[in-house]
Amino acid sequence: MAFNDIREYCEALEKTGDLVRVQREVDWELEAAAITRRSYETLGPALLFEKVKDYPPGYRILGGQQGTYRRVAVSLGLPPETPIPFIFREYEARDQKPIKPVIVPTGPCKQNIMKGNDIDVLKFPAPLIHDGDGGRYIGTWDIIITKDPDTGWTNWGMYRFMVHNGRILTGDPTFTSHLAMVFREKFVAKKKRMPVAIVSGADPLCHMVATAGYGIGQDEADYAGALRKAPVELVKAETSDLLVPAHAEIVVEGELLPDAIGAEGPFGEYPGYRTGKARTGIVCEVTAITYRSDPILTMIALGIPVDDSSVSAAMTASLALKRRLLRHQIPVTDVYAPAEGVTHLLVVGVTSGGTKVAREIKDIVTARRAAINKIVVVDKDVDVFDMKQVIHALAVKCHPLRGIVTDEVAAGKANELTPCYSEEERRHKKGGVAIFDCTWPPEWPKDTLPIKSSFNDIYPPEIQEKVLKNWKAYGLK
């Protein structure tokens, strides 16, 4: 069952004990984000701040809406206690069946319309998220909608947007993002303004697909439909021909300027550190704002894992890399980029390993961008989702000399936000990758392979059966 809007989702989270409404007044300046951050770090609930300082009652901030696997499960309509591998399987299965959105004449996002001289994004409680951030952010857990004017391809990406004043925002979509690509080629090159919509508070799965790396020409809206198992309803924007989620809470419409740059950030980034200073960002001039009455601004207090960013990136990156490895005929059993590894660490399970396969995996994973800089390869007897098993394999099966392969990543491909890189490396996007091969060398004769001393491996089947059958009779649970 799909949620029609974020309000229904909040009610569902409240029922499962995964959301708390905060009625006491909180400050948009650091306090709302600090509470949300502490809630992630204490495995607490999502937070709906119902009274924000300086703002009318009803102007709300929602923090951490998908910041745990429990909440992600609820957003998919699954029981909150659904185990992680099952959530991944469900996501993978639904993602195979894209569903086109439907266009509706109007929707709740049109309840209020701000145009002309009335435009002011600071009518909404844009939070200051971290001490030291470059400014208040209207877009953190958002959806940025843009369109390729030639092909009609509509892209949804999650990119942050900072407030300069009520009408001017700056953003930092990375060079390889779909927004930056289309903006560069189809607008900056022709000195044209690019229409954009910054969406807050759509169906939670719409936000999830905006974080995922789908291909060029693929409309993320179709995949939001896939995850919802029902089409997303879209409505035309007021000042452009972009289509926006009809049930969204706040839609900031604007234009990206082809001939301007503006300071953006710094910001506490997704690897869990603030690295660097203000950057030169793209500039957005706001052309209209449409919003629901009593609007909810969606926010992530980004930081150390686990939070909404690391959970969703774990799912989307694991699935994308699994598909890519299988396309290259790597004998993959499963792939897991644990949220705690903030897409810097990847675990790959294979049916047959060895150095050659490990090197191939490294080349395939780092072919385009190389945020992942540590890859652990394990044999099929290790459950990639179980870090206890992965650490055991790393400890005893990875040869300290032959099992670790390191390589440089060419300039331009490494992640400029990875904290261990020097300022110089980050500037040139230079870095490295290490692979930890925890598989038995294929050239080792089968009868010399060490035997795992586990219940399943080192006891004959008849003993296992007997023990399992009599488990309760032994007085055990």
Ligand X SMILES: Cc1cc2nc3c(=O)[nH]c(=O)nc-3n(C[C@H](O)[C@H](O)[C@H](O)COP(=O)(O)O)c2cc1C
Q: Interface with Mn ion by CB under 5 A: which residues?
A: 155, 178, 214
Binding pattern to ligand X, positions 110-149, x when CB under 6 A? ----------------------------------------
CB 265 within 8 A of CB 281: yes
Identified binder of ligand X from the candidate list 61, 300, 393, 414, rule CB under 6 A = 300
211 vs 290, beta carbon nearer ligand X: 211
Instruction: Tell me if 160 contacts ligand X by CB under 6 A.
Output: yes
Q: Which lies closer to ligand X via its Cβ, residue 18 or residue 142?
A: 142
The CA angle 443-449-450, to the nearest 5 degrees, is 150
| Upstream peptide bond of 357 is cis (omega within 30 degrees of 0) | no
Separate counts of helices (H) and strands (E) for the chain = 13, 21
- Which amino acid, residue 217? G
- For position 46 contacting ligand X by CB under 6 A, the verdict is no
Q: Can you tell me which of 172, 222, 238, 255 binds ligand X, judged by CB under 6 A?
A: 172
CA distance 273 to 303: 7
Task: Choose from Mn ion, ligand X, none: what does 309 bind? Cβ within 5-8 Å by kind.
Answer: ligand X
Rule CB under 6 A: choose which of 63, 213, 245, 295 binds ligand X. Answer: 213
How does strand 46-49 pair with strand 19-22?
parallel
Q: Please, which residues bridge with residue 328 across strands?
A: none
In whole angstroms, give the CA distance from residue 187 to residue 287.
17
- Counting contacts by CB under 6 A, is residue 218 touching ligand X? no
Look up residue 68 and give its amino acid.
Answer: T
Q: How far is CA 294 from CA 58, 136, 283, 382, 430, in A?
A: 4, 20, 28, 49, 46
Q: Which is nearer to ligand X, 312 or 366 (CB)?
A: 312
Separation between Cα atoms, residue 49 and residue 60, nearest integer Å:
6
Q: Which is nearer to ligand X, 70 or 160 (CB)?
A: 160
Residue 212 interacting with ligand X (CB under 6 A): yes
Question: CA 421 to CA 64: how far, in whole Å?
Answer: 29
If one asks whether residue 302 binds ligand X (CB under 6 A), the answer comes out as yes
CB of 219 to Mn ion, least distance (A): 8
Nearer to ligand X, 178 or 228 (CB): 178
Amino acid at 91: Y
Query: How far is the C-alpha of 433 from the C-alpha of 416, rounded, in Å?
Result: 14
Selected range binding ligand X among 90-98, 167-175, 187-195, 439-447, rule: CB under 6 A: 167-175
The rounded distance, in Å, linking the Cα atoms of 188 and 197 is 18
Taking the complex as a whole, the smallest distance from the CB of residue 305 to Mn ion amounts, in Å, to: 23
Contact flag: residue 182 with ligand X (CB under 6 A): no
CB 194 within 8 A of CB 242: no
67 binds, among Mn ion, ligand X, none (CB under 5 to 8 A by kind): none
Is residue 160 a contact partner of residue 140, using CB atoms and an 8 Å limit? yes
Judged by CB under 6 A, does residue 177 bind ligand X? yes
Please give the structure tokens belonging to residue 70: 């429990």
User: Could you tell me the smallest distance in angstroms from the CB atom of residue 323 to ligand X?
Assistant: 15
User: Quick one: 154 or 290, whose CB is closer to ligand X?
Assistant: 154
Query: Binder to ligand X among 66, 170, 287, 309 (CB under 6 A)?
Result: 309
Distance CA 92, CA 187 (A): 35
CB of 155 to Mn ion, least distance (A): 4
Binding residue (CB under 6 A) for ligand X from 36, 211, 287, 298: 211
Of 58-66, 208-216, 237-245, 464-472, the segment contacting ligand X by CB under 6 A is: 208-216
Kindly list the residues in this chain that would bind ligand X in the complex (CB under 6 A): 155, 157-160, 172-174, 177-179, 211-213, 300, 302, 309, 312-313
